[in-house]
């Protein structure tokens, strides 16, 4: 399925909305917690069991992005968005059948396995195309799309809660809610499938001539590297560490945000209420979303290596301030946590542009997919560190902020590891470059497609 070439006069600003239609939809994954209590009550599940669909979905996101990245590059964004639409929406439909028949394994299969494939393919589907359309501002372009994944829950959470209120929180009501999600998201994601276009022949070369500053810089390569070669370079694994450490630090707070702020101030004269803790979680989500577009756009101005110095270096300072003074000042705690979460979101949005700088645009989507295995690792590592340490500290008789001191120290150490890995990033050795100029080949292929059309 080949996406149509953009006609003369086509505005590149129509491509980010196409990407957003997919990312805002699959961003629903962050709102899974809305369904946990009703599922536990309707099907008699434990908290661990009700988390299985989400956990499997995130695992499949990383695996499908890693293994499907090359197919996405080969077949183009329209094919990838169509696959994402079919998998993500049918996952909800299978989950609806599972809820209606009270077969939890169908919910896990549908939302977790099938829907998770849609998450991974959908997440990487627009990346390469956006970078090709915006060679002068790749950080901003990918930030707009990936912002949608972070902000999808802001739409899905109240919408899902309202549906459960209308349909009921029993098995039948959950089934109707899943069914509605599947149909509505299919319609919304189809807008992206229909709207997406690839640049016409010569577009990237013309854009580089018009914006020569976009093609300069020690770490910005004009050569191209295949996905197969990229994973053999030290640069790839340095960036893998950078992303893993940054995500681990952010998700460590995000996953335990409400109980964490409650614990920090439980033994003070101004404890945090349940509603205030929920408000804190909402603020973190907003910071996560804002960081994706704000920091990634900033990276176009100061460079990718410099922005990751900020994420990792300033992030370590924020963790240190919380560890030392967080329980004595609510504003300090909240501000530092918001900054860390903005770095968390910014790290996701900036990494595709960093990859483009180092490896070129040839198979950047496939390389990005392989790098997302760092997210899967961090998704296990971050919560494991914070929860395991908190449990052990509680068994040792500590309470309040004392539950998190050791885990924050570990996070600081991990961010330092990421900072060092970022400093080790150098231009890719020419032996990894593809032997023939890809720009001309891409233009020839696009010209042939236009001729046959």
Q: What is the DSSP string of 73-133?
A: HHH-HHHHHHHHHHHHHHHHHHHHHHHHHT-HHHHIIIIIIIHHHHHHHHHHTTHHHHHHH
Q: Which residue has the tokens 């409650």?
A: 262
Q: Has residue 356 got a pLDDT over 80? A: yes
Q: Tell me: the pLDDT tens digits for 83-115?
A: 999 999 999 999 999 999 999 999 999 999 999
| Token reading at 437 | 């100029």
The per-residue pLDDT for 3 is 65
Q: Which residue has the tokens 């069991």?
A: 49
- Mean of the pLDDT values across residues 32-38? 86
Q: Which residues contact 164 (CB under 8 A, 6 or more apart)?
A: 34, 35, 38, 173, 174, 177
| Model pTM score | 0.83
pLDDT-above-90 percentage for the chain? 47
The per-residue pLDDT for 441 is 45
Q: What is the DSSP string of 141-200?
A: HHHHHHHHHHHHHHHHHHHHHHHHHHH-SSHHHHHHHHHHHHHHHHHHHHHHHHH--BPP
pLDDT category at 282 given cuts 50, 70, 90 is confident
What is the end-to-end Cα distance of the chain in Å, rounded? 13
Q: Tell me: the pLDDT tens digits for 158-205?
A: 898 899 999 999 999 999 999 999 999 999 999 999 999 988 877 765
Q: Mutual orientation of helices 257-264 and 234-254 as an angle, nearest 10°? A: 60
Burial class (CB in 10 A: 0-12, 13-18, 19+), 168: middle
The full 3-state SS of 58-74, as one line of letters, equals HHHHHHHHHHHHHHHHH
| Integer CA distances (angstroms), 269 to 158, 198, 265, 329, in order | 33, 59, 8, 12
Q: Tell me: the pLDDT tens digits for 368-416?
A: 999 998 988 887 788 788 878 888 888 888 887 888 889 899 999 999 9
The per-residue pLDDT for 375 is 85
**For residue 433, which phi and psi values (nearest 5 degrees)?**
-75, 150
- Mean of the pLDDT values across residues 210-225? 60
Highest mean predicted confidence (pLDDT) among 80-84, 123-127, 358-362: 80-84
């Amino acid at each position: 399925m080949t996406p149509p070439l953009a006609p003369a006069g086509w505005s590149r600003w129509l491509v980010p909305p196409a990407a957003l239609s997919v990312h805002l939809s699959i961003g629903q994954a962050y709102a899974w917690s809305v369904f946990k209590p009703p599922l536990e009550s309707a099907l008699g599940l434990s908290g661990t069991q009700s988390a299985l669909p989400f956990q499997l979905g995130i695992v499949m996101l990383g695996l499908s992005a890693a293994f499907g990245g090359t197919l996405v590059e080969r077949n183009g964004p329209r094919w990838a968005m169509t696959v994402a639409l079919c998998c993500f929406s049918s996952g909800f439909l299978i989950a609806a059948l599972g809820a209606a028949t009270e077969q939890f394994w169908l919910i896990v299969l549908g939302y977790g396995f099938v829907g998770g494939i849609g998450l991974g393919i959908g997440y990487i589907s627009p990346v390469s195309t956006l970078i090709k359309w915006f060679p002068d501002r790749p950080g901003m372009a990918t930030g707009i799309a990936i912002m949608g994944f972070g902000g999808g829950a802001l739409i899905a959470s109240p919408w899902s809660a309202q549906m459960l209120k209308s349909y009921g929180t029993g098995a039948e009501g959950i089934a109707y809610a899943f069914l509605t999600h599947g149909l509505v998201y299919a319609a919304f994601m189809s807008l992206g499938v229909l709207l997406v276009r690839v640049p016409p022949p010569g577009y990237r070369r013309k854009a580089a001539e018009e914006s020569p500053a976009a093609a300069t810089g020690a770490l910005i390569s004009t050569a191209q590297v295949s996905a197969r070669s990229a994973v053999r370079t030290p640069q790839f694994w340095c960036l893998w560490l950078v992303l893993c450490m940054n995500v681990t630090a952010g998700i460590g707070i995000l996953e335990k945000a409400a109980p964490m702020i409650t614990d920090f101030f439980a033994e003070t004269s101004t404890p945090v209420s349940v509603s205030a803790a929920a408000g804190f979680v909402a603020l973190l989500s907003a910071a996560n979303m804002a960081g994706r577009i704000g920091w990634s756009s900033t990276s176009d101005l100061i460079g990718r290596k410099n922005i990751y110095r900020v994420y990792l270096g300033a992030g370590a300072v924020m963790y240190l301030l919380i560890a030392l003074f967080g329980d004595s000042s609510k504003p300090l705690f909240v501000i530092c946590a918001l900054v860390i979460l903005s770095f968390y979101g910014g790290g996701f949005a900036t990494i595709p542009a960093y990859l483009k700088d180092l490896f070129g645009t040839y198979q950047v989507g496939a390389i990005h997919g392989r790098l997302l295995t760092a997210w899967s690792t961090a998704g296990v590592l971050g919560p494991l560190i914070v929860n395991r340490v908190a449990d052990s500290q509680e068994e040792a008789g500590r309470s309040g902020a004392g539950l998190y001191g050791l885990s924050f120290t570990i996070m600081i150490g991990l961010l330092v590891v990421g900072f060092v890995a970022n400093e080790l990033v150098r231009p890719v050795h020419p032996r990894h470059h593809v032997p023939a100029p890809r720009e001309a080949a891409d233009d020839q292929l696009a010209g042939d497609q236009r001729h046959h059309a």
